[in-house]
Amino acid sequence: MSQREFERRRRGLLRMMPADSIAILPAARERLRNRDVHYPFRQHSDFLYLTGFPEPDAVAVLAPGRKQGQYILFCRERDPKKEVWEGRRAGPEGAVEHFGADDAYPIADMDEILPGLLEDRRRVYYTMGEDTAFDHRLIGWVNQIRAKVRAGAHAPHEFVELAHVLHEMRLFKSRWELTRMRRAARVSMEAHERAMRRCRPGLYEYELEAEYQYVFRRAGMVPSYPPIVGGGANACILHYTENRDRLEDGDLVLVDAGCECEGYAADITRTFPVGGRFSDAQRALYELVLQAQEAAIRKVRPGNHWDDPHRAAVRVLTRGLVELGLLEGDVRKLVRNEAYKRFYMHRTGHWLGLDVHDVGEYRVGEQWRLLEPGMVLTVEPGLYVPADLEGVDRRWWNIGIRIEDDVLVTKEGCEVLTAALPKRVEEIEALVGQDA
């Protein structure tokens, strides 16, 4: 049951908080797209992590030791007239009944109630700087209490970064979370496979994108980030999302697309030939990226550090680039001088979870963080050779390749959550265009 999972997280946070502290966490705000049209609402990941509450205009409060209940939720009141226009609301009653709040109040009453909750709490867990309007309100409430010190009130005198505590929790995925991540991975893999089957020269990038959107929506999911569908030269633009050009025979197309399940992201990239056959140059670079990815994945195991997969990928790529004549010189020196950055300018991965570039520290002090079971990361090396790159033979031009999978660190090593999606040259050539 989901409510138990959210309760377990709140208990975990409450256990870390001293008795005289309080945590305050506002929900995401609705954002205007144009005039009176909003962007689709996406809950703030920290808020979602602790509450599972899907609405805007809400504030969660955790007050350890509070007799009437430790978890208080402020939210919009039920309003039959507004709900006809804007959709259903849980209301404070629903917040208690369905979302596990011990106590719930209308958000409109927050100015009256929150200062009372803050009084006599010395330490406030709060993430400053994410919602400046809310920062100001909070400072206002604290000042109200300060004004009453002569009447015996105690104002909080210490602010603690709530995000830091929460993000450490979010880095380690529970069974419940992994179930969602596996679902997101499964649907994302299905989308990639469908797109490969239906790909053919003459399609537009947005038409290929539509295959992804179709599979995501059919599963009740949404993209976890704007899909990147780049054919030919566009594959060399890392954050290309216009997706508006024609896919040409002889080009590769790079697709970086994944969906989210109950907020949990998948993040997958596959690169395949639009016409179904790799050219010799494309294949050579593709095999190299695949080799680098496999070497990096082998480094994902407990006790290795965060940078080990990246280092493995960089070594393989640099050696391969020298063998293919794209780099010249001693491999070790080229690695040290970061010569590979001409063709490989990003890192090999990131944490994955409620955010596609998920939270969690990558370093502890001066050291890279050690990998531990329950962490999920992407492994996504690539090579990008735009046209006109000086000193590069034109047969390599306009080839952009990335191969990205989602990997869970396990006790024994790792599990590739997206392993069922083909990535070997022969598999891809067999698949592309099958249903075109």
Q: Which residues bind ligand GLY (CB under 6 A)?
A: 225, 256, 267, 350, 356, 380, 404
Tokens 């049951």, residue located: 1
User: Residue 225 binds which entry of ligand GLY, Mn ion, none, with Cβ cut-offs from 5 to 8 Å by kind?
Assistant: ligand GLY
Catalytic residue among 357, 363, 395, 424: 357
User: Residue 209 binds which entry of ligand GLY, Mn ion, none, with Cβ cut-offs from 5 to 8 Å by kind?
Assistant: none
Helices and strands in the chain: count of H runs, count of E runs:
13, 21
CA-derived radius of gyration, the chain: 25
Q: What is the DSSP string of 52-110?
A: ----SS-EEEE-TT-TT-SEEEEEPPP-HHHHHHH----HHHHHHHHH--SEEEEGGGH
Least CB distance to ligand GLY at residue 380 (A): 6
Residue 402 appears among annotated catalytic residues? yes
Q: Write out the two tokens for 12.
A: 């975990």
Candidates 188, 378, 398, 418: give the one binding Mn ion (CB under 5 A): 378
Candidates 57, 256, 262, 405: give the one binding Mn ion (CB under 5 A): 256
Contact 354, 267 (CB under 8 A): no
Host H or E run for residue 113? helix 110-118
Q: Name which of residues 383 to 412 contact Mn ion (CB under 5 A).
A: 404
Distance CA 343, CA 325 (A): 13
Residue 412 appears among annotated catalytic residues? no
- Closer to Mn ion by Cβ: residue 24 or 221: 221
Catalytic residue among 15, 35, 36, 390: 36
**Is 190 one of the binding residues for Mn ion (CB under 5 A)?**
no
Sequence-distant (6+) residues with CB within 8 A of 14 are 62, 64, 70
Candidates 267, 308, 358, 405: give the one binding Mn ion (CB under 5 A): 267
Residue 408 DSSP label: E
- Which of these, 230, 346, 236, lies nearest to 285 by C-alpha position? 236
Residue 346 appears among annotated catalytic residues? yes
Least CB distance to ligand GLY at residue 386 (A): 19
- Closer to ligand GLY by Cβ: residue 146 or 357: 357
- Closer to ligand GLY by Cβ: residue 225 or 368: 225
The set of catalytic residues is: 36, 239, 256, 267, 346, 350, 357, 380, 384, 402, 404
Binding positions for Mn ion, rule: CB under 5 A = 256, 267, 378, 404
